Structure 1
Amino acid sequence: MKRNTKFFLIGGVAVIAILILVFSGSSSDAEAEVVVEVEQGEFIVDIMTSGTLEAKNSVPIKGPQGIRNYRIWNLTVQHIIDEGTEVKKGQYVARLDPSELTGKIKDAQLEVEETQSQFTQVKLDTALTMRQARDELINLDYTVREKQLTLDQSQFEPPATIQKAEIELEKAKRALQQAKENYEIRRQQNVAKMQEADAELKGDKNELEGLMSLQKDFTILAPQDGMLIYERSWDGKPVKAGSQISAWDPTVATLPDLSQMITKTYVNEVDIRKVKRGQSVEIGFDAFPDKNQKGRVTKVANVGEQRPNSDAKVFEVEIEVFGTDPVLKPGMTTSNRIITKALDSTIFVPLESLHSQYDSITYVFKKQGGRTIKQEVMLGDANTEYVNILAGLEPNDLIYLSSLRGYEKDEVVLIPEMDGKRQQKEVEEPEPLPEIPQGRRRPGGR
């Protein structure tokens, strides 16, 4: 019996202890919440973006120039050395597929052979034609001389015979003169034919020579010393083996000047209005978390664009990197903190401490003496963690980071000047004047 009484006494004490813990834990949610002080000091408004490191200036490594003149519009990269390779001037960089060029060279060789044959044929025809014309002139000259002899021998013949000989001589002279004129015309025609055939042959030979000279340019060499960086196409993909390059821009790679670096980043359309040229930037590098560089915004795009795998419009921003570091390489990912504004001696609170009521009043849970109130605050600029407070709080005030239970029905303590503005806004605006039919005027109107 004593054992049972002892058991019940121990059980009762345990129950009472549990009840005390339960009630003491639920007596005040506020005591269990995190309380922070309202901070005062310099407040930085920033935008965080990621970007890609590039050289500000670089020398392009190009394939053959002028291939459009030979109706070659695209070239395929057959082989290219690894990106990041240190090359010397004149060192091998890449090789382009010459199959299309080889086909055009064969066609050009056949064309030259054909035009050469045509030129030879025109030359032979011209020589034969002109020889026949010269023989005709010689024969006509002999005829004139014969007619002259006949006339000279007819001096003692009857007048009719003499007149007939004169007529024959005149006809022979006229035929000779016409033959000379025809000969000159025929000569000029043949000269023109020879010039045309010669020009066509020279054109085909020049095209063949041009195509032949392009062959060496299909093996691409470095124009100077440097580190090889692949060229990027319009979709951001690097030029590599199997890629095609355009005849309008046959660049396969670049040799960047590592003494001047920039990082290119993209800012969404909501924040781009805050970004201006000349703003300071703190730059970090994913590959070297312990390294940081200073920089500044040097260019802000005026037109937005749609980036791959993104639904939002973004604007390209170029940031100049101050100083140099041999470990920094083009293509590295950067984290950029763009300082859009710096406020001196202002107060600010964490973003998670803010709450709203009726979508128009922003407040915080503030400790005031031995109680907690819902205090309205006027907001200024914000960054990724904090917001500037323009009114409603003082430095070193204590506020809660999260919402508290049990204060749903408490009224928000309003800022007097904010309350006055709200009351003024709630005053009814005068009703608009009724529409006046065309041709009539309102009182006092012109």
Structure 2
Amino acid sequence: MQRKYILPIGLVLSVVILWFAFGGDKDETTELFTTPRKGEFIVEVTSTGELRAKNSTEIKGPQGAREFRINNIKIQRMIPEGTLVKEGDFVAELDRSQVLAKMQDAQLEVDQAQSQVTQAQLDSTLTLSQARDNLINLEYALEERQIAVDQSRYESPAVQRQAEIELDKAKRTLSQEKKNYITKVKQAEAKISEIEAELTKKKNELNKIRALMGEFTVYAPDQGMLIYKRNWNGSKVTVGEEISAWNPIVAELPDFTVMESLTYVNEIDIQKLKEGQDVIIGLDAVQGKILDGTVTSVANIGEQRPNSDSKVYEVIIEVAGTDSLLRPAMTTSNRIQVSKLNDVLSVPLETIHAVDSLSFVFVKDGLSAKMQQVELGLINENEAVIHRGITIDDRLYLSMPADTSGIQRSYLIEELSSSN
């Protein structure tokens, strides 16, 4: 049994030894060739995006918090993302500590205003009561002066004249005090009215704060699937996060009938894009799923995104049709078709070499190679269109030949430069 395996093992060892002895140190290069391809040529810009609903219903927290100098509100509780809700269902509970402090201050101001109204009423009552007593006394004094005049008939003319003067003074004093009393009544009414108006203002503010407190419990305005709001940096607003009183969106209810992919394209490729270009959209979560789309928006101003060293531009792609598989935040692979040519000649980029600002390919010419100048057209990630210089029957080197010394160069005729 052992002899049966000795011969095969010996042959294998012999082959290995011979390879190391004679073939292992020899530097042989296998030359690979290709031929030009004729047909459709597509230039694409690829990017990774994220699905979102084009339209959605915003679920908002308190609308009037800024009126009471509340700038940020913390989320204390919120239902899980993806929950299906009906109109009126509970969504979130917001921190009321700030608005509660505002309400306590407002209640204190109402109590103070109410106290001022009461004090003004008491003051006016006392002042007007004294004024009425003074009028009664002046009426008595007038009556006394009238009696004195009547009794002075039997006195000398001087005494009579003095009594008449005193009577006239009493009449004028009574008349003036009656006018003053009317003025005092109006002043008291105006003062009380002013303080009562301030009290009404304070009560209205208190009622606003009480109504605002009710908005700190957030309910769904419609039915749908709840999606958390995203910050400018892409993070989700969830429990423990704060929402701005300027834009108090807690979450959203997306409309799945129209979806779009939000993506960012680098500043080199953005010049190739424009609205209306066709897009082939793939879903990372569903292998093999292909969707059609259209570029609907290309940003004019770049921005610095997290984890990006260069400026990128926002591009929005609308997904054609509807699909029950689509959900917000799904990752998409977008192939934006920039240009499309039919029936053109193209070659792999590996076959093209630049020499002195000219483009060449190495063409198999019998047993040797030659350098052929070519006129390039559109270029995509893998291939380049060739307008002139080669034919579809040429065999091209995929890499530079091992020996290029004395290689023949073939240039295009002068009309190339004149045509450009």
TM-score (norm 2): 0.91
Whole-angstrom CA distance in 1 between matches of 2:129 and 2:372: 118
Question: Which residue, 365, 368, 373 being the options, matches 1:371?
Answer: 368
Question: Which residue, 70, 75, 80 being the options, matches 1:72?
Answer: 70
Residue 398 of structure 1 is matched in structure 2 by: 395
Whole-angstrom CA distance in 1 between matches of 2:304 and 2:23: 61
Letter of the structure 2 residue corresponding to residue 85 of structure 1: T
Whole-angstrom CA distance in 1 between matches of 2:416 and 2:45: 32
Other structure's SS at 1:290 match: coil
TM-score (norm 1): 0.86
Superposed CA offset, 1:206-264 (max 9, x none): 11111111222111110000111111122221111111111110001110100000111
Cα distance, 1:345–1:100 mapped onto 2, change above 3 Å: same
Verify the 8 A CA contact 1:83 1:229 in the aligned structure 2: yes
Residue 37 of structure 1 is matched in structure 2 by: 35
Residue 6 of structure 1 is matched in structure 2 by: none
1:409 positional shift: 4.1
Cα distance, 1:22–1:285 mapped onto 2, change above 3 Å: same
1:17 positional shift: 12
RMSD, matched Cα: 2.3
1:22 positional shift: 8.3
Q: Where do residues 98-137 of structure 1 align in structure 2 (5 Å cutoff)?
A: 98-137=96-135
In the alignment, structure 1 residue 416 sits paired with structure 2 residue 413: yes
Other structure's SS at 1:405 match: coil
1:152 positional shift: 2.1
Question: Which residue, 209, 212, 217 being the options, matches 2:210?
Answer: 212
Q: Please, which moves more after superposition, 336-345 or 368-377?
A: 368-377
Whole-angstrom CA distance in 2 between matches of 1:353 and 1:271: 24
Question: Which residue, 164, 167, 175 being the options, matches 1:166?
Answer: 164
Verify the 8 A CA contact 1:41 1:344 in the aligned structure 2: yes
1:369 positional shift: 3.3
Residue 184 of structure 1 is matched in structure 2 by: 182
Residue 439 of structure 1 is matched in structure 2 by: none
Verify the 8 A CA contact 1:39 1:396 in the aligned structure 2: no
Verify the 8 A CA contact 1:376 1:392 in the aligned structure 2: yes
Q: Where do residues 271-286 of structure 1 align in structure 2 (5 Å cutoff)?
A: 271-286=269-284
Whole-angstrom CA distance in 1 between matches of 2:415 and 2:287: 45
1:310 positional shift: 1.1
Whole-angstrom CA distance in 2 between matches of 1:241 and 1:20: 69
Letter of the structure 2 residue corresponding to residue 415 of structure 1: L
Whole-angstrom CA distance in 2 between matches of 1:56 and 1:375: 52
1:418 positional shift: 6.7
Whole-angstrom CA distance in 2 between matches of 1:263 and 1:16: 57
Whole-angstrom CA distance in 1 between matches of 2:405 and 2:415: 22
Q: Please, which moves more after superposition, 183-192 or 118-127?
A: 183-192
Letter of the structure 2 residue corresponding to residue 320 of structure 1: E
1:157 positional shift: 2.1
1:338 positional shift: 0.5
Residue 432 of structure 1 is matched in structure 2 by: none
Verify the 8 A CA contact 1:63 1:250 in the aligned structure 2: yes
Letter of the structure 1 residue corresponding to residue 374 of structure 2: V
1:368 positional shift: 2.7
In the alignment, structure 1 residue 194 sits paired with structure 2 residue 175: no
Letter of the structure 2 residue corresponding to residue 372 of structure 1: A
Unaligned runs of 5+ in 2: 1-13
Residue 3 of structure 2 is matched in structure 1 by: none
Whole-angstrom CA distance in 2 between matches of 1:198 and 1:19: 113
Q: Where do residues 274-353 of structure 1 align in structure 2 (5 Å cutoff)?
A: 274-353=272-351
Whole-angstrom CA distance in 1 between matches of 2:134 and 2:207: 44
Residue 59 of structure 2 is matched in structure 1 by: 61
Residue 265 of structure 2 is matched in structure 1 by: 267
Residue 3 of structure 1 is matched in structure 2 by: none
Whole-angstrom CA distance in 2 between matches of 1:222 and 1:354: 61
Letter of the structure 2 residue corresponding to residue 124 of structure 1: L
1:270 positional shift: 1.1
In the alignment, structure 1 residue 389 sits paired with structure 2 residue 386: yes
Letter of the structure 2 residue corresponding to residue 244 of structure 1: E
Cα distance, 1:157–1:16 mapped onto 2, change above 3 Å: closer
Percent pairwise identity: 47
Letter of the structure 2 residue corresponding to residue 150 of structure 1: A
Letter of the structure 1 residue corresponding to residue 83 of structure 2: T
Letter of the structure 2 residue corresponding to residue 240 of structure 1: T
Verify the 8 A CA contact 1:108 1:207 in the aligned structure 2: yes
Verify the 8 A CA contact 2:64 2:212 in the aligned structure 1: no
Question: Which residue, 223, 247, 250 being the options, matches 2:245?
Answer: 247
Whole-angstrom CA distance in 1 between matches of 2:43 and 2:328: 29
Whole-angstrom CA distance in 2 between matches of 1:379 and 1:80: 59
Q: Please, which moves more after superposition, 37-46 or 208-217?
A: 208-217
Superposed CA offset, 1:27-80 (max 9, x none): xx4xx2221110011111111011110101001000011111122111011111
Cα distance, 1:408–1:307 mapped onto 2, change above 3 Å: farther
Letter of the structure 1 residue corresponding to residue 131 of structure 2: A
Whole-angstrom CA distance in 2 between matches of 1:400 and 1:68: 70
Letter of the structure 1 residue corresponding to residue 85 of structure 2: V
Count of aligned pairs between the two proteins: 405
Other structure's SS at 2:87 match: coil
Superposition misfits of 4+ residues, deviation over 4 angstroms: 14-23, 418-422
Other structure's SS at 1:305 match: coil
